[in-house]
Structure 1
Amino acid sequence: MFQRHWTRSAILISCIAAAPALAQSDGGNPDLLAGMRPVTAEMLANPGAGDWLIWRKTYDSQGYSPLDQINTENVDRLAEAWRIPLGQGSSMATPLVHDGVMFLADTNDAVLALDASSGEELWRYEHATGPDATAGLNGKFGIAIYRETIIVPTLDLRLLALDFRTGEPVWEHAIAVSADSPNRYSLRAAPLLADGVVVQGVTATMVPEGGFVVGIDAGSGEELWRFQTVAGPDDPGGHTWNDIAGTERQGGSVWVSGSYDPELDLVYFGPAPTYHTAPLLDSVDIQGVSNDALYTNSTIALRPQSGELAWHFQHVANDQWDLDWSYERQIIEVDVNGSPRKAVITAGKMALYDALDAATGEYLFSIDLGLQNLVASIDPQTGVKTMNPNARPNAESAVLICPQPIGGRNWLAASVNPESNMLFLPLAETCMMGGPTGGDSQLLSTGAAIMGVAPPDSDGNIGRLQAINLETQELAWSFREFMPPSSAVLATGGGLVFGGAVDQSFKAFDQADGAVLWSTDLGDIAASFPISYSVDGKQHIALVIGQAGLHASALIGHAMQNSGGDMSRFSGLTREGPALVVFALP
């Protein structure tokens, strides 16, 4: 199978007492730390309603909390309970909560343990980042928790295990990469714990051989396997790279966290496309060779113990416009043609969902949310997409492409209510004039220029929250506003959907019809993943603000471009600074 195994001698593993780092205890509540239970595999597979143990709450990445104390009847009384300042920089961190303790990765490789009821700091760990740190790629999704450790990805390509009661290092693993360009790799995805293995996606920006997924033993820190997401010339799938040399094959970054099905024992990830598009633009005339570029823009299903590829499905081949299909893979139960199926669903930047059988990768169906003009048709049996020929880059003229690379959707994760099988997804209406090729574009090697434009016939409302009935595959409702969204969404058992926008607002929507039931000004942009948890019987909503990155800046620029010159809409952006903000009922 297409994988590479690395021996213990090829990696750095340290069970360390004198690490190049600092763990500090602020006293806090020692009984709270001492009372935490070890997090077992069973707890990860079936988490308690009050805890938030995984990036999107559960292995299926549904981003749903069953808590219902805060609901449609009382959410108008929701108030800020506490906030603490955070570090400057770009991040989209997700807090984890276990037995009343919150764990959070701050910028610059700091990790905090907090009393989840008050925000009181219990301990702080500060990693001494090495010279190969990717400071420009500080936007990390979060951390993981397993047994009695917190698993932390760092800016200098290390995975750390910290004692969750003290913050002291337990083990450290340095991920080996090309010595020629170590600062072009980064660890943005939150680690995924699957069957005792830390499964970590690795981002690789314009480097030979591209990105990969790595499996690390959660107990020792030993590297077990790698799966390269760019097929080399002699690998399965190697014939899909237009007969170009292995050193010219780039992309396949795995920068969004994966999902896990314990019953099938499969993890699901989505490698991104390549920026090195020029060698793939025109297909070579060689029998058996294509320019599809596996495994970019694919869903890959791997076995966590070995890294073996169980199946793959390529959503869009030969992506020439950086329209990733790299986002969350959500596992759902849904009827298809009258039969219950376990499916993996995902949408790329085109806001077009594909549903695949979770066990086999068989194509089931697609849902187009109406924001794209690249896909002309989809084969109902295979899911193979026929692209609009007018959307192909050319040397003569620019073409209208919807969306642009900031996406109709982006990393702002959707949420699924498994009780109603309703999906909620934040979207932005974006288009661009793409091309002609041969220019000095800094994004794509074809040189195709990219200029953002308003969608045809736009009424100026470019922000959306859409609700999709997964049983009927139809739109249930759509909320639209001028400001585009800036955060993932959170659905709860109280019939609510929470989400933030670039105007610093944070809203609670009614899941039934999209009505806004509550809204507040956060004081800064929410560019993260909201969570819900419970301590001592009290439900909380928490999110990080003020650490917005390039995507939020691009959305603000897009909104300004579509404002018709009316800058008054942006006068209230106070940018008070990074913070963790927590809400509860009085």
Structure 2
Amino acid sequence: MSTGWTRRHVPLLLSVGAFAGFGSVAWAQMQAPEALLPQLQQGAKAYADNCASCHGQDLTGGQFAGSLADTAFRNKWAGKSGQDMFEYVRDNMPPGNGRSLTDEVYAALTSVILARNNILPADQLAPGSDLMRQTAFPIDPAGQPDTGGVGGLSDRFPTPEAPARPDRFANYTPVTEAMLQDPAAENWLSWRRSHQGSGFSPLAQIDRNNVDRLTIAWSQALPAGANMNEPLVRDGVLYVFGFGDEVFAFDAEDGHLIWRHTRDLPDDFPPTSKKTMGLYADKLIVATSDLHVIALDARTGELAWDTEITDDPAFRNPGGPLVADGVVMQGLTTQKAGGSLIVGMDAETGEKLWSFNTVAQPGTPGGDTWNGLPADKRHGGSSWTSGTYDAETGLALWGVAQTYDTAPLRDRKPGMNNDGLFTNSTLAFEPRSGKLVWYYQHMKNDQYDLDWTFERVIGTLDVDGAPTRVVMTAGKEGLFDVLELRTGKYIKTVDMGLQDFIASIDPVTGDKAVKPEKVPGKDKGAVFVCPHAGGGRNWTPTSFVQETGLIYVNARDICMDMVPADPGFLTTGVNTEYLAPPGSDGKYGLLQAIDMQTGEVKWEARQRAPFDMGILTTASGLLFTGDMARKFKAYDQASGDVLWQTGVTGVPNGSPISYAVDGKQYIAIVTGAGNPLSFGVPIITPELQLPPVNSSSVVVYSLPE
């Protein structure tokens, strides 16, 4: 019950003027503190507008929803607080449109429900207040009046029990390092499935012969808004991030909601999508839009710990965590001066362990490569893709982006170095200490916004006759660099054939020499460069099949004019304008299979619609990806032929995943126009428009029974 009554009470009369539509005699005879009346009046109106059509005019149930004022309802809520009720109503009501009202209105609705059950606090309820938390349903509701009404359950005949649901956590065991390195075939435990970042599933039930029979197994709406999440699956539970920093755990077999966690974001932090989350031990690790990392109990969704990464609102964290060696690592993005960050936290407690500035500081390794620019004037080094991890070497591998502040670096000053470390680099860390073991800069002094901050794929290739652990990654230019994993030594570069501005690549160091006439600036006319800064290979991750040595990548084959502007997108005083490649047939969506051993492009498929979704490959020789035409497709890995396709209501984002439950294979995707590629290239493909409503959902496919 409430913590106290005021001495003065007034009748809570449901007159036409105050509570039109509520007519229960029991309700009308209740006594309410005068201070509570304004909130109850507000709540009654909100109830009539939003709830009565389902729950009945006087909360006693209707055709579409049960009573909010009978014994069964009070038994369900026994011992729970007004805050619990507020959070439930806010997150779930009206059905399918939770959080569509203000917190003030949800608090007023909570007051109405409590009052309807004879629970009357002494004053108005404010979300999160002591009074809200202390006002509770009785633990033993015996003796409480049962108001009855429409929608109750008759006991005339026995009601069959609901079918028993499987307990997905009955035999739960902690997620271990070994599992993350080599997951069981049925699981998808981390970004790109395993710590290697390959995006490959060993499942093969869905194959070339039956993929055309795929049908929707289940789907669930997620909060409407931007979403580019790649779900995780562990032992029959699918975890997915939703817009507004909501996290869901679904039964991966049929989509039944197991739990839901909602983060209350401060007003000055707009919600942003996240590429991934992390599983470790008994926790689900989530980066939040207000620059925190939180750990949720993977079985219940309860908060285990909450750590602020930084209090500087100039940062964002759209990537997602890498959890390895007991450490949560999270990269940030920013355009502020001073550089960006990668941070490490203890996975068990959330304690901050280290922080690494991705812009090298003067006097440190790589720090004197900024053309004499002081540390507080250096920009760039963002990281918006989760890292990968190699247990054999104990190295966590992260990618770092370029600088938009290109002017101070463009022309080398006498006696200085203008490479701009650690932009466009791979960084190899010891997770526990944060020690930088090695780094490799893929593209020095980037004047084009052609970042190298994408996935680092770990695999084995033959190098000089010996199998060698390597890391493979590509920048927007469509160049794949292959490095020796243990040391970062350059091995080779594989070219997709998209770029036209690199004059030569040093076979020993991998240094890329730019054609002088292709360097842009406000002191020049328009400079034609391929690919476009928003084109080439971009946010959509690749997939690598170790058995064949093939890496699969999609890209946008679009070029740019870099035209003088004041001030300009890049500080050299240039803007970028889309331009079709010379002789283009208008097919800008490109999908390639590249032999990383030989460097040969085995096949490529072209289409009008640009791709905006990562790639999944499976052991049965299938490849899945999606595009701006809102088509989700299955290809033959060997030939590039389309074997199956289906339309989806929202723009497919993130990357497809595959998992199995009780021996049955599933393919899952998330829609939601979340990454920049999902907005397409409307100037080049005006017929491909975003849907007028940006919905979001998780859609799961399987073979029919």
When normalised by structure 1's length, the TM-score is: 0.90
Amino acid at match of 1:318: N
Is 1:233–2:233 an aligned residue pair?
no
Shift of 1:196: 0.4
Contact 2:371–2:408, Cα closer than 8 Å, also in 1: yes
Tell me which protein shows more strand as a share of its residues.
1
Q: 1:452 aligns with which of 549, 574, 578?
A: 578
Is 1:581–2:702 an aligned residue pair?
no
- The aligned runs of 1:203-282 (5 Å cut-off) are 203-204=333-334, 206-282=335-411
Is 1:330–2:457 an aligned residue pair?
yes
Q: 1:406 aligns with which of 534, 557, 566?
A: 534
Distance 1:519 1:379, change over 3 A: same
Is 1:197–2:327 an aligned residue pair?
yes
Is 1:49–2:185 an aligned residue pair?
yes
Amino acid at match of 2:696: P
Match of 2:64 in 1: none
Counterpart Cα distance in 1 of 2:246 and 2:621? 35
Classify the secondary structure of the residue corresponding to 1:534.
Answer: strand
Amino acid at match of 1:67: L
Counterpart Cα distance in 2 of 1:549 and 1:231? 28
Counterpart Cα distance in 1 of 2:179 and 2:682? 40
Shift of 1:188: 1.3
Match of 2:609 in 1: 483
**For 1:195-225, what per-residue CA distance to the aligned partner results, in whole angstroms no more than 9, with x for missing partners?**
0000111112x21221111110001100001
**For 1:134-175, what per-residue CA distance to the aligned partner results, in whole angstroms no more than 9, with x for missing partners?**
44xx13102111111110100000000111111111111001
Match of 2:157 in 1: none
- The aligned runs of 1:148-163 (5 Å cut-off) are 148-163=282-297
Counterpart Cα distance in 2 of 1:202 and 1:396? 34
Amino acid at match of 1:42: A
Shift of 1:338: 2.2
Classify the secondary structure of the residue corresponding to 1:551.
Answer: helix
Match of 2:593 in 1: 467
Match of 1:6 in 2: none
Shift of 1:466: 0.1
Contact 2:501–2:515, Cα closer than 8 Å, also in 1: yes
Counterpart Cα distance in 2 of 1:334 and 1:240? 32
Counterpart Cα distance in 1 of 2:524 and 2:689? 41
Match of 2:314 in 1: 184
Q: 2:442 aligns with which of 308, 315, 333?
A: 315
Match of 2:275 in 1: 141
Counterpart Cα distance in 2 of 1:183 and 1:445? 23
Greater RCO (Cα-Cα under 8 Å, separation 6 or more): 1
Match of 1:166 in 2: 300
Contact 1:143–1:150, Cα closer than 8 Å, also in 2: yes
Amino acid at match of 1:163: D
Counterpart Cα distance in 2 of 1:571 and 1:63? 29
Contact 2:612–2:678, Cα closer than 8 Å, also in 1: yes
Counterpart Cα distance in 1 of 2:355 and 2:613? 31
Shift of 1:468: 0.7
Larger radius of gyration: 2
Q: 1:127 aligns with which of 221, 238, 263?
A: 263
Counterpart Cα distance in 1 of 2:291 and 2:650? 29
Classify the secondary structure of the residue corresponding to 2:491.
Answer: strand
Aligned residues: 549
Match of 2:629 in 1: 503
Contact 1:525–1:575, Cα closer than 8 Å, also in 2: no
Classify the secondary structure of the residue corresponding to 1:184.
Answer: coil
Classify the secondary structure of the residue corresponding to 2:376.
Answer: helix
Amino acid at match of 2:701: F
Counterpart Cα distance in 1 of 2:340 and 2:691? 37
Counterpart Cα distance in 1 of 2:703 and 2:534? 36
Contact 1:343–1:356, Cα closer than 8 Å, also in 2: yes
Contact 1:496–1:511, Cα closer than 8 Å, also in 2: yes
Is 1:346–2:473 an aligned residue pair?
yes
Match of 2:545 in 1: 417
**For 1:78-137, what per-residue CA distance to the aligned partner results, in whole angstroms no more than 9, with x for missing partners?**
1111111111222210111111111111111100010000111111000111244244xx
Counterpart Cα distance in 1 of 2:356 and 2:419? 19
Counterpart Cα distance in 1 of 2:88 and 2:276? 19
Counterpart Cα distance in 2 of 1:250 and 1:501? 33
Counterpart Cα distance in 2 of 1:317 and 1:470? 23
Distance 1:23 1:151, change over 3 A: farther
Q: CA RMSD in A?
A: 2.0
Classify the secondary structure of the residue corresponding to 1:247.
Answer: helix
Shift of 1:477: 0.5
Counterpart Cα distance in 2 of 1:196 and 1:500? 34
Contact 1:131–1:156, Cα closer than 8 Å, also in 2: no
Counterpart Cα distance in 2 of 1:22 and 1:253? 35
Shift of 1:237: 1.3
**For 1:208-248, what per-residue CA distance to the aligned partner results, in whole angstroms no more than 9, with x for missing partners?**
22111111000110000111110122322111011112111
Classify the secondary structure of the residue corresponding to 1:185.
Answer: coil
Contact 1:524–1:573, Cα closer than 8 Å, also in 2: yes
Contact 1:452–1:558, Cα closer than 8 Å, also in 2: yes
**For 1:232-281, what per-residue CA distance to the aligned partner results, in whole angstroms no more than 9, with x for missing partners?**
22322111011112111011001111010001000111110111111112
Contact 1:502–1:555, Cα closer than 8 Å, also in 2: no
Shift of 1:396: 2.5
Match of 2:498 in 1: 371
Is 1:101–2:237 an aligned residue pair?
yes
Contact 1:506–1:526, Cα closer than 8 Å, also in 2: yes
Q: Which moved more, 1:56-65 or 1:523-532?
A: 523-532
Contact 1:202–1:211, Cα closer than 8 Å, also in 2: yes
Q: 1:113 aligns with which of 239, 244, 249?
A: 249
Q: 1:69 aligns with which of 205, 219, 225?
A: 205
Is 1:538–2:664 an aligned residue pair?
yes
Counterpart Cα distance in 1 of 2:526 and 2:287? 41
Q: 2:428 aligns with which of 287, 294, 301?
A: 301
**For 1:34-79, what per-residue CA distance to the aligned partner results, in whole angstroms no more than 9, with x for missing partners?**
4332211221122100000001001110000010000011101111
Contact 2:224–2:694, Cα closer than 8 Å, also in 1: no
Classify the secondary structure of the residue corresponding to 1:529.
Answer: strand
Distance 1:348 1:22, change over 3 A: farther
Classify the secondary structure of the residue corresponding to 2:313.
Answer: helix
Contact 1:23–1:123, Cα closer than 8 Å, also in 2: no
Amino acid at match of 2:474: A
Distance 1:557 1:166, change over 3 A: farther
Contact 1:258–1:329, Cα closer than 8 Å, also in 2: yes
Distance 1:195 1:280, change over 3 A: same
Match of 2:48 in 1: none
Contact 1:524–1:574, Cα closer than 8 Å, also in 2: no
Counterpart Cα distance in 2 of 1:435 and 1:225? 42
